[in-house]
Structure 1
Amino acid sequence: MIKAIFQIALREWQRILTRPDHCLVLLVLPPLLFFFYAYIYDRQQAEDLPVAIWDEDRTAVSRQITFLLEQTASIHITESVGSQDELESLMQQQKIIGAIHFPKGMERDIKSRHPVKVPIYTNAASLVPGKLINKDATTVLITAASGVNLQKFMKTGMPAGKAMSLIMPVNLTVYPMYNPTYNYQHYLVPGLITVALQMMIIMVAVLMINMEWKEGTMDALRLMAGNHAGVIITGKTLAHLSVGWVNFVLVAGIIFPFFSLQHPGTNWQLFVLFNLLTLACTGIGLMISVIATDVMLALDAGLFYTSPAFVFSGFTFPRWAMPWFDQYYASLMPYTPFLDAFFKVYFMELPLRYAMPEITKLLLFIGCTFFVSVLFLQVKLNRYAATARI
């Protein structure tokens, strides 16, 4: 039986290398696609974003704040406007992503400690750049206003420490964790690579069994396996799992180091998770391939199943904020627990034991899908063998 498994695995490798569709999807597209994803975000961070200033105050304070805004990483002052209509027109033309309005009397109100409203306009369609502009602008405005009052108090002879405690009684410090610089490449590329890998594995796996029936090669495969569905499934899975190892070496050994995305000490944990994802996706593809004899139907089912994985996984929007039926659909995809575990071991650099709930879910995916695949295939093999004897 062991010999038959390895023979089938070798046969499946030959099919992968000689069939253009298999070879293209599993071996040619991954390096091209993964490098392409990484190069898209090679700039890594959103910097020098075009921002307009609407200055109705026209004082030394407004000019000083404008200077400080220009010194931030995200803000680059490119326009000066005189009205909200002009501001909105520039934003609609995509010449600016944000704008800051200094109202009349701003300096006077700051010095007299009256409330000052400084509107910050951002293009919320560009979510992350808008948040960066808002964060840096807010920091500068608070700091500048505090500085004006600090100078005012110190001119009266008040010690600097006491003056600072009056201006800012609460010292707030924010520590962004796991992606403190809002690095697009560091955050998005690993997610895009893994979701693409899931789609490619499933789209090939849905052809593994039904193509054998369609091309008339199942009888030879059945005889090689001694009419055991488990041997066929195991041999084919072993071949596709080894393809997953090739792609893991590509990702963890070449792409991550080349683009400085690696986290030291996480390779073993990632290898375990990649194997579980590969097996879970292969199991789902095999199950579809065994049940859906029609190849086009199997491909449609695989495409329908894998397409929304990135959206429903919680990578870009929290799952708990989704409607219950979307959360339920997300739980039916192996990419969801994989992504949760991936965040823990890759971004947070936690030991693998912290990902045991997600690993358990992936093992349930693997166990259920392979059990169904073997069961259905064995029934079909038995019927075929009975027909052949007749």
Structure 2
Amino acid sequence: MPESATGIRATTRRECARITSNRLYPLLMIVLPLTSFGILWAIFHQQVPRNLPVAVCDLDASKLSRQVMRMIHATPTMDVLFHVSDPEKGRKLLLEGKAYAFVLLPRSLERDAKRGKAPEIIGYYNAQWLLAGSLITRDLTAVVGTASAALDLRARRLRGEMYAAAKAHVEPIRVETHALFNPQFNYLYFLLTTLLPTMLQIFVLVLAVHSIGLELKEGTARAWLETAGNSVWRALAGKLLPYTGNFLILAMFILSFLFRYLGVPARGNLLLLGVGTVLFVLAYQAMGILLVSVTANLRLATSLTAFYAGAAFAFTGVTFPSMAMPEIGKAWGELLPLTYYLRLIIQQGIQGAPCSTSLEALGALLAFALLPPLVSHKRMARLLRHDRYWGKR
């Protein structure tokens, strides 16, 4: 067997012994990742928020106002849980967080509508709850538009217009929209698909930093290097190999769970996505090597890990468009392997984009996997050979 393979194998055996002797490692490698995946799935398994409680104040008490109330209650998004007689009570429910919206049906609603005075149905909602507010606004607008169109259509029919002509007059110009990749507005597709890899990158980076930094903290770096035949490359490869295998299994589990069990569309090249997944794990391990080599301090490297990975999702462009970010936000997003991996999942999973579209993301992940170890190699060699870097907490 070649010397390089022997060194990697010996280092891997040594690392496996360290893993089995410390309860923290199984916790970070298996228990906490699976627990976080389960919590996220439990949050989003309903796919679309439904039956959000709203309050309604009906000051008209007419046939039309009761019909509007029934239409609001019939929407999948809203549940008329509170009927109030005073607008102030409705606003109080909204401020207390007991209702996501408050709808006010004004006096003389039906009379003014029949006279063509265009009465206003007023809706209050908390825009701070962006998701709930947008869903309620969409459905409330649809309800009022449907009710208004029905009144107009009925009035035209009573004036003697034919049904087809009356319908055309009610809606003379139509908008035809096509939602291409998530027509159900399924938040499981939108958020769970991206949040699971986001959680995974945290554990990959934390364990890479901890496993390497602990050797410096405990002063065992020389023994680690000697086990690898005094080769920094073999030492790093052998140490990280058990974690690489573990997290690749978890990553493939995530993809299988999303595409097979949950039915997230897999329209693109899954082989390309598999290659990207391998590079994604290696990229974050490479960043862990870089953080430890720069700081030579486990505590500081762990703090930088939290800073680098903790808020990463906000800069990936999934929830807030990258093109709308300031330049510093765009730049920070481009320094995150997660940005490119999520782009790859969306392109090759949900969108089914051509393989050429994803080559940029794949190339970026490859660069993240290769460049940090190359840049930090000399520095890491000094850290492992000189005891003045050891013992720092």
Q: Distance in 2 between matches of 1:142 and 1:207?
A: 58
Q: Distance in 2 between matches of 1:333 and 1:226?
A: 33
Superposed CA deviations along residues 34-58 of structure 1, whole A, max 9, x for unmatched, are: 1122113333321122122222333
Structure 1 position 320 matched with structure 2 position 302? no
Q: Distance in 1 between matches of 2:307 and 2:138?
A: 39
In the alignment, which residue of structure 2 is the partner of 1:336? 339
In the alignment, which residue of structure 2 is the partner of 1:16? 19
TM superposition shift of 1:379: 4.3
* Structure 2 residue ranges without an equivalent (≥5): 388-393
Superposed CA deviations along residues 78-128 of structure 1, whole A, max 9, x for unmatched, are: 222344322211112223211222233433443344433322211223221
Q: Give the aligned residue type for 1:18.
A: S
One of 26, 29, 36 as aligned partner of 1:26: 29
- Determine if contact 1:31/1:250 at 8 Å carries over to the other structure: no
In the alignment, which residue of structure 1 is the partner of 2:89? 86
SS at match of 1:209: helix
TM superposition shift of 1:64: 1.8
In the alignment, which residue of structure 2 is the partner of 1:213? 216
| Equivalent runs, 1:79-158 vs 2, <5 Å | 79-158=82-161
SS at match of 1:53: strand
Percent identity over paired residues = 27
Q: 1:104 to 1:327 in 2, by over 3 A?
A: same
More moved, 160-169 vs 338-347: 338-347
Q: Distance in 1 between matches of 2:45 and 2:204?
A: 26
- Determine if contact 2:222/2:385 at 8 Å carries over to the other structure: no
Stretches of 4+ aligned residues off by more than 6 angstroms: none
* Structure 1 residue ranges without an equivalent (≥5): 385-390
More moved, 271-280 vs 76-85: 76-85
More moved, 344-353 vs 28-37: 344-353
In the alignment, which residue of structure 2 is the partner of 1:46? 49
| Equivalent runs, 1:229-248 vs 2, <5 Å | 229-248=232-251
- Determine if contact 1:47/1:73 at 8 Å carries over to the other structure: yes
| Equivalent runs, 1:149-188 vs 2, <5 Å | 149-188=152-191
| Equivalent runs, 1:245-324 vs 2, <5 Å | 245-254=248-257, 257-261=260-264, 263=266, 267-324=270-327
TM superposition shift of 1:197: 0.9
Structure 1 position 36 matched with structure 2 position 32? no
TM superposition shift of 1:380: 4.4
Q: 1:294 to 1:383 in 2, by over 3 A?
A: closer
Q: Give the aligned residue type for 1:275.
A: V
Structure 1 position 199 matched with structure 2 position 202? yes
Q: 1:260 to 1:381 in 2, by over 3 A?
A: same
- Determine if contact 1:209/1:290 at 8 Å carries over to the other structure: no
SS at match of 1:52: strand
Structure 1 position 74 matched with structure 2 position 80? no
In the alignment, which residue of structure 2 is the partner of 1:387? none
Instruction: Tell me the matched-pair count.
Output: 384
- Determine if contact 2:193/2:258 at 8 Å carries over to the other structure: no
Q: Distance in 2 between matches of 1:380 and 1:93?
A: 56
SS at match of 1:54: strand
